[in-house]
Amino acid sequence: MPRASVVGAGMTKFGVHDSTLSELFAEAALSAFDDAGVGPDDVDALYFGNAMGGQTENDTHLAPKAASRIGLAGVPCQRFEDACATSANAFKNAVHAVEAGVHDTVLVGGSERCTPVTGLGTAEMTRIFASASDRHYEQPTGLTFPGVFALLTKRHMHEYGTTEEQLAHVAVKNHANGEHNPIAHFGKQTTVEEVLEGPVVADPFRLMDCCPFSDGASAVLVTSTDRADSFDDPVDVSGVGHATDVVPLGAKPVPHATEAARKAAAQAYEQAGASADEMDFAEVHDCFTGAEIMASEAIGFFEDGEGGPAAEAGRSSLDGDRPINPSGGLKAKGHPIGATGTGQIVELTEQLRGGAKERQIDGATKGLAHNLGGDAATTVVTVMEVRE
């Protein structure tokens, strides 16, 4: 029995946007309204995600501001912030709310601006992102997120022999997929050689192992499975798992296992009554190439240690047996932090409706989204499926 349904989905192009966070969200939200064939009067609440608007442009209390821009003023609104897992967590809370009958139909989404349109350069943005790392032990040492994921990935390489070439294959695949995604920040193709020739950002990551800073917004309409019957093309949410892990990295017994992802995936699969093997594809949180490999193991697509060889062998490509990030992922589609989680839900919705065109996974009936925040400390895993 599914828990809820997505009946509308919309997003902006991910890239560079010179409009406010509320305006940007409005574009995605109105697109989701159009997709569902509804207006603001049909929506009972807004669950809004934004991670860093206060820091980047002194813009907070964004939920009622965003609601005001789309004719929703008055409804209960809340802003969620859980680092890069911000809007996936908003989505989870919305699924709970419609399942419990707290609200009938909830608009969920996120909006973020990370490019220099905010007036901030790359160094300052990197410092702002680092606000999600540990206050006592990590921030004072100057550890930023390329470093956090480099440490996790180095440990994975040490344990399993994962190679830089295997990491590069993730980048190549995701850029190839992104070329088929009209909303992707970077569609251009790359090669393993090109990736391996790039400048080192944080060993073992080179430039092309890292996702870009992006602006963008995404939005979905979540309603109860019963109400979904009256919509044209609903897609069901059959499981949503959510777990956290201890912060900082150094306190985790097996850091590269990304334990929260394993717990969240187990919850989602159990709720969905399905196994990893039944998933036709996954969108995972590839903020760095190494993160995709660890995620592909945590969600059970590959055995521990097999994520690297699988990427190299093309198993996670569009035409592989376990496709990952058909959208291009954070790596090529882009990563507007608070918009990323529901951006994955938009991709799941499009794939499960069979409308993803050149990047369509043939006959996909079940898909999974994995959205991770901070020091791999918050993870939300969602399983969606074609309505029976």
Chain residues that interact with a second copy, rule: CB under 8 A: 20-22, 51-55, 58-61, 63-65, 67-68, 73-83, 89, 92-93, 96-97, 99-102, 127-128, 130-136, 139, 242-247, 251, 260, 263, 373-374, 377-378
- Residue 335 designated active-site: yes
Asked if 374 and 247 count as a contact pair (C-beta separation under 8 A), the reply is yes
Supply the minimum distance, in Å, between the C-beta of residue 160 and a second copy.
25
Bridge-based pairing state of the strands 200-202 and 281-283: unpaired
Instruction: Give 384: exposed, middle or buried? Use CB within 10 Å, 0-12, 13-18, 19+.
Output: buried
Q: Whole-angstrom distance between the N-terminal and C-terminal Cα of the chain? A: 10
**Distance between CA atoms of residues 285 and 344, nearest Å:** 9
Asked if 301 and 322 count as a contact pair (C-beta separation under 8 A), the reply is yes
Which of 145, 231 has the CB closer to a second copy? 145
Which of 88, 311 has the CB closer to a second copy? 88
Supply the minimum distance, in Å, between the C-beta of residue 45 and a second copy.
9
**Distance between CA atoms of residues 287 and 307, nearest Å:** 16
Which of 39, 74 has the CB closer to a second copy? 74
SS3 242: strand
Asked if 241 and 267 count as a contact pair (C-beta separation under 8 A), the reply is yes
Of the residues 17, 175, 180, 335, which is catalytic?
335
Which of 68, 360 has the CB closer to a second copy? 68
Of the residues 17, 77, 84, 242, which is catalytic?
84
Supply the minimum distance, in Å, between the C-beta of residue 135 and a second copy.
5
Residue 312 amino acid letter: E
Supply the minimum distance, in Å, between the C-beta of residue 346 and a second copy.
21
Which of 128, 220 has the CB closer to a second copy? 128
Q: Which residues contact 97 (CB under 8 A, 6 or more apart)?
A: 45, 47, 103, 106
- Quote the tokens at residue 363: 């006959």
Supply the minimum distance, in Å, between the C-beta of residue 228 and a second copy.
19
- Residue 84 designated active-site: yes
**Distance between CA atoms of residues 244 and 249, nearest Å:** 12
Residue-level length of the chain: 388
Q: Which residues are catalytic?
A: 84, 335
